[in-house]
Structure 1
Amino acid sequence: MDALAGLLDGPRARGAFMIRACFEPPWAVRIEDRAPLTVMLMVRGEAWITPDTGEPLRLGPGDLAIARGPDPYTCGDSPETAPQAVILPGAECSYPDGRPLNGSMDLGVRTWGDRLDGSAVMLIGTYLWQGEVSGRLLDALPPLLALTADVWDCPLTPYLMTEIVRDEPGQEVVLDRLLDLLVIAALRTWFSRPEAAAPAWYRALGDPVVGRVLRLVQDDPAHPWTVASLAAKAGVSRAALARRFTELVGEPPMTYLTGWRLALAADALRDTPDTLEAIARRVGYGSAFALSSAFKRVYGVSPQDHREHRERGA
């Protein structure tokens, strides 16, 4: 597992909210959906993304922005334009006074706005809920980031423009995978930028000792790893590994391993019908009881409660 694969193992869209937004100035939309991750790709015209705290961000043709929830923001033709609509959790829409929009801004299949031929066109993809593994990714991102067309070129844009308005069998799955590809392409570019400020464990993957240990843990979490066995694989002493790992990653090796195993378990509880016993053995716990105890200690809820909560959310 390479560094980026380890970081991106988690954001897999499932029934993501994807639309083509078409507007003619003046226009503005208030985003209060608390979504964990939203991608905005400007196809035509320009838009301003204005967070409640921080500086407004301008997008031109070909530019892309990623907003990390749950903080709200406003997207419009100008930071001064008052919102015409509010996007709420669950992709619900209302007027600013709370009245439901009732589809009054629908312009066709996955197309929304005030004019189909509007001078501003933006493709928007939203992950509606967060998987626990992707929490490491979200922690690595600023609340709002942008990639301008001069630093990245997205070959997916024409395909997305075509697919987002199609209404074919299995189309939701196609769009989910395209959104994943768009995010991976964007973040691969972002993390190569000096301003990205990648997390400590991501940077540590480049270290010859700690990077090897991180890959061993990520690739085979079910193995009964100890500090001694990891140190032997890395060719250093236990003390040297513990010191270097903690210095570069910010936590001891076994603490990191526990967090990784529990994150994988949380994802499996969300994504699969597997029994707790099967999940426990897959992520390195000897029994369902051992996993349940560790899970509740870290997450504050039992694995069963976590699964039921995810099912209700889905």
Structure 2
Amino acid sequence: MRERLRLAAVDVLAGLLDGPRARGAFLMRTVLDPPWSLRIEDRAPLTVVAMVRGEGWLLPHDADPVPLRVGDVAVLRGPDPYALADDPGTPVQAVVHPGEITTTPDGAALCEQWGLGVRTWGANPDGSVVMLSGTYQVDGEVSRRLLSALPPFLVAPRADLPLVPLLADEITRDEPGQEAVLDRLLDLLLISVLRSWFCRPEAETPTWYSAHADPVVGRALRLLHGDPARPWTVGALAEAVDVSRAALARRFTDLVGEPPMAYLTGWRLALAADLLREPSATVAAVARQVGYSTAFALSTAFKRERGVSPSEHRAGAAS
């Protein structure tokens, strides 16, 4: 069972992260010497922190401090604040606000004072502690299911991922296309960590995730994810997975928590919400991609479920 879930996890995570991939993520290399303490209040939906050199502590919101050692990778789900420090008792020296603005605790600007070159920041260029941080700036709609499946924070101990030194090497370069390279490396690092995390016994996987290991419901979910534009019915889906309509409806609802067509509607609208973030995508084109016959049909469903029209959603995402 665990092995089937592990194999299914690859497809699920790839599908969930394929749409809302990092776009101009904020990446930074931080170099410090003890004593140091940073409070992060940027309200980012998701952040990845990797310890490249030295040790420190993660001080989550409403949780006990967690040690961070060389090779550890932490993933933090916003918007709650958290702190990183050499010791839990060290007073805060810098506060990171939304918009990548950094100040002292009393509000004095630190951005220029602590600037150490391309994507590098800190009080000492030769500091004994080096951390990499990558922040997803926008909560992509497809990732809501993923974010809801994650704890407020997790730490992958001694991840030993070749992506960490590669990211450390690339983060200080300033070459054409560098932003795209860093975005993709951040995505790969996040997927690698989460793929391992979801297979650990302590990971509290959501019902829809665990359902992918079921031989019937898992096949149905993969069909819906793989071809959301197809005019699915419960009968057509049941025929595709070789069970009766009633058996699929009952088993799907028991394992996923909602009926097949309700799940499909949510998935289609999540995909549409993410696709609408692309400036060149028309509502009609997005409607066809996610299984609605007209722009009007998508707009009606979108506004009914989300309270705003696709155009209003696009405008909000752009702002």
* Fold match by TM threshold 0.5: yes
Matched, 1:117 2:153: no
Matched, 1:206 2:213: yes
Structure 2 match to 1:269? 276
* CA distance, structure 2, for counterparts of residue 300 and residue 89 of structure 1: 26
Q: Is the contact between residue 9 and residue 134 of structure 1 (CA under 8 Å) also seen in structure 2?
A: no
How far off is 1:272 after superposition? 4.5
> Which segment is superposed worse, 90-99 or 43-52?
90-99
How far off is 1:11 after superposition? 4.0
Matched, 1:168 2:214: no
Matched, 1:40 2:49: yes
* CA distance, structure 2, for counterparts of residue 7 and residue 284 of structure 1: 18
Q: Is the contact between residue 270 and residue 307 of structure 1 (CA under 8 Å) also seen in structure 2?
A: yes
Matched, 1:188 2:200: no
* CA distance, structure 2, for counterparts of residue 94 and residue 299 of structure 1: 37
- SS of corresponding position for 2:276: helix
TM-score (normalizing by structure 2): 0.94
Matched, 1:3 2:12: yes
Structure 2 match to 1:85? 94
How many residue pairs match? The answer is 310
Q: Is the contact between residue 11 and residue 180 of structure 1 (CA under 8 Å) also seen in structure 2?
A: no
Identity of aligned residues (%): 63
| 1:249-288 → structure 2 map (5 Å cutoff) | 249-288=256-295
Runs of 4 or more consecutive aligned structure 1 residues displaced over 4 Å after TM superposition: none
User: What CA deviation, in whole Å up to 9, does each residue of 1:14-47 have, x standing for no partner?
Assistant: 1100011111011111111110110000011111
TM-score (normalizing by structure 1): 0.96
Structure 1 match to 2:184? 177
* CA distance, structure 2, for counterparts of residue 198 and residue 57 of structure 1: 22
Matched, 1:100 2:109: yes
- SS of corresponding position for 1:251: coil
How far off is 1:195 after superposition? 1.0
* CA distance, structure 1, for counterparts of residue 263 and residue 203 of structure 2: 22
- SS of corresponding position for 2:209: helix
How far off is 1:135 after superposition? 1.0
Letter in 2 for 1:185: S
Q: Is the contact between residue 41 and residue 96 of structure 2 (CA under 8 Å) also seen in structure 1?
A: yes
Q: Is the contact between residue 20 and residue 274 of structure 2 (CA under 8 Å) also seen in structure 1?
A: no
How far off is 1:113 after superposition? 1.0
Structure 1 match to 2:4? none
Q: Is the contact between residue 51 and residue 71 of structure 2 (CA under 8 Å) also seen in structure 1?
A: yes
Q: Is the contact between residue 19 and residue 271 of structure 2 (CA under 8 Å) also seen in structure 1?
A: no
Question: Residues 78 and 84 of structure 1: is their aligned pair in 2 closer, same or farther, counting only changes over 3 Å?
Answer: same
Letter in 1 for 2:119: R
Matched, 1:141 2:150: yes
Letter in 2 for 1:190: W
How far off is 1:102 after superposition? 4.1
Where structure 1 has 5 or more consecutive residues not aligned to the other structure, the ranges are none
* CA distance, structure 1, for counterparts of residue 273 and residue 94 of structure 2: 35
Matched, 1:305 2:312: yes
| 1:200-239 → structure 2 map (5 Å cutoff) | 200-239=207-246
* CA distance, structure 1, for counterparts of residue 314 and residue 174 of structure 2: 31
Structure 2 match to 1:246? 253
* CA distance, structure 1, for counterparts of residue 19 and residue 146 of structure 2: 8
> Which segment is superposed worse, 209-218 or 78-87?
78-87
